[in-house]
Amino acid sequence: MALPARSQSRARPAAPLPIVILAGAGAAFFIIPLIGLLLRTPWASAWHELGSPEVLAALRLSLLASFSATAIGLILGVPLAWTFARLTFPGRSVIRALTVLPMVLPPVVGGVALLLAFGRRGLLGSWLATAFGIHLPFTTAGAIMAETFVAMPFVVITVEAGLRSMDTRFEDAARTLGASRWTVLRRVTLPLVRPSLVAGAVLCWARALGEFGATITFAGNLPGRTQTTPLAVYLALETNPDAAILLSLVLLAVSLAVLIGLRDRWLGAS
């Protein structure tokens, strides 16, 4: 997507007024609700609310589950992205569409689909239960699975785009110099798409951290085991809105810190 050299070298154009107005409205649309949250935050009781064991358990579980989901998302998603970017085989576009479907599927429906597949009476779940005694619903593993299901498509899409836009002549050169396919992948391809890998991982992690619908449907809601922070926020809204707001802010602060930090460190140059 490189711009022609002419337009790049031209002096920066003055922004047209409608663009400035609309961009301002767009930014305000995101920022004003956050200000609303901040203004309503009960700072005085913040320490007390956040120190409660249930809140700490939810935060701990959220971090564990979102990072696990990101790890699984990378382990399975990167090979998938490579397959879509580099191989042609019949039905590729259909399979590709199916693997990114969770991005548009209502998460609750995703949760029901997971139950029908991995639940006690599900397609694979009944076999897992009788053969190995593995039960996924109502477990932390189930929560990680639900988050992975919803978040992994971000890895697939981002890394596939990176692989497609990358200059494959580097790979060809490495191969002609005698590097094995595995070495080319490890030493040439993956380093070249590192910005896409990082961006995909960050998006995947952020999506997993905020996941609600699939998790509550597939894994249920039990403090310490499957109650991640978004679930705790949702239930706290019923009885203790102050705790819900504080918990949301913590979630926000953590993700903002990670997004800003990673962007400057890894993506700033690209």
Site of interaction with another protein (CB under 8 A): 18, 112, 115-116, 119-121, 137-138, 216-217, 219-223, 226-227, 231, 234-239
Q: Which is nearer to another protein, 137 or 153 (CB)?
A: 137
Q: Which is nearer to another protein, 209 or 216 (CB)?
A: 216
Polymer length in residues for the chain: 270
Could you tell me the smallest distance in angstroms from the CB atom of residue 132 to another protein? Answer: 17
Could you tell me the smallest distance in angstroms from the CB atom of residue 225 to another protein? Answer: 9
Could you tell me the smallest distance in angstroms from the CB atom of residue 114 to another protein? Answer: 11
Could you tell me the smallest distance in angstroms from the CB atom of residue 239 to another protein? Answer: 5
Could you tell me the smallest distance in angstroms from the CB atom of residue 197 to another protein? Answer: 35
Q: Which is nearer to another protein, 222 or 253 (CB)?
A: 222
Q: Which is nearer to another protein, 83 or 139 (CB)?
A: 139
Pull the structure tokens for residue 13: 């154009």
Q: Which is nearer to another protein, 66 or 227 (CB)?
A: 227
Q: What is the distance between the alpha carbons of residues 84 and 248, in angstroms, rounded to a whole number?
A: 37
